[in-house]
């Protein structure tokens, strides 16, 4: 029984460490470049994959397309990216960083979500499957009601934070 209790306490501690690591990095990013880490990650994706469509970017970031569009509006308003409508298919809009956006990235830290994706990518298929199953069971046990919350980036949750 004591082993089980210790294991439960350790898992709680590990989840807190992961969450606080993401929050702390988000605060640092926002102080350094004036953007949330989610928006910075979005810009890194566009830097690595110029011309992405909104739906492709939302999928890469694991966020809702409407959330993605709202964030893109804010970045476009700051002059950090532009949207180009396809000449062959007027419904398709391709996203590109502006020169100002590229300059900001040159000074910005890497977003922690990218580090999380990279770390998950380093796990074996067996470990990924086990982690996914375990987290699903944890969410079930907690009776999670808002599964859509997983499609919204984690804000840095500070009073001085102005962006999500």
Could you give the domains of the chain? 2-151 (1.10.10.10)
What's the pLDDT at 38? 85
Q: Which residues of the chain have pLDDT under 70?
A: 111-115, 151-152, 154-164
What's the pLDDT at 162? 41
What's the pLDDT at 149? 74
Q: Report phi then psi at 147, rounded to 5.
A: -70, -20
What's the pLDDT at 78? 96
Assigned token pair, 79: 């002059």
Angle, helices 54-61/65-77, rounded to nearest 10 degrees: 110
What's the pLDDT at 58? 94
What's the pLDDT at 3? 93
Are 156 and 30 in contact by the 8 Å Cβ rule? The answer is: yes
What's the pLDDT at 90? 79
The secondary structure of 75-92 as a DSSP string is HHHTTSEEEEE-SS-TT-
């Amino acid at each position: 029984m004591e082993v089980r209790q210790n294991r439960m306490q350790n898992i709680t501690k590990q989840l807190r460490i992961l969450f606080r690591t993401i929050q702390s990095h988000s605060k640092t990013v926002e102080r350094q470049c004036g953007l949330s880490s989610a928006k910075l990650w979005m810009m890194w994706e566009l830097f690595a994959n110029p011309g992405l469509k909104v739906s492709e970017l939302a999928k890469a970031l694991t966020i809702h397309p409407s959330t993605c569009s709202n964030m893109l509006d804010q970045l476009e308003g700051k002059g950090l990216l532009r949207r180009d409508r396809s000449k062959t298919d007027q419904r398709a809009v391709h996203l590109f960083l502006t020169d100002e956006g590229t300059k900001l990235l040159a000074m910005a830290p890497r977003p922690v979500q990218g580090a999380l994706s990279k770390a998950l990518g380093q796990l074996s298929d067996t470990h990924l499957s086990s982690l996914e199953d375990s987290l699903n069971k944890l969410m079930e046990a907690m009776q999670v009601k808002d599964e859509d919350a997983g499609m919204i980036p984690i804000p840095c949750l500070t009073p001085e934070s102005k962006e999500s």
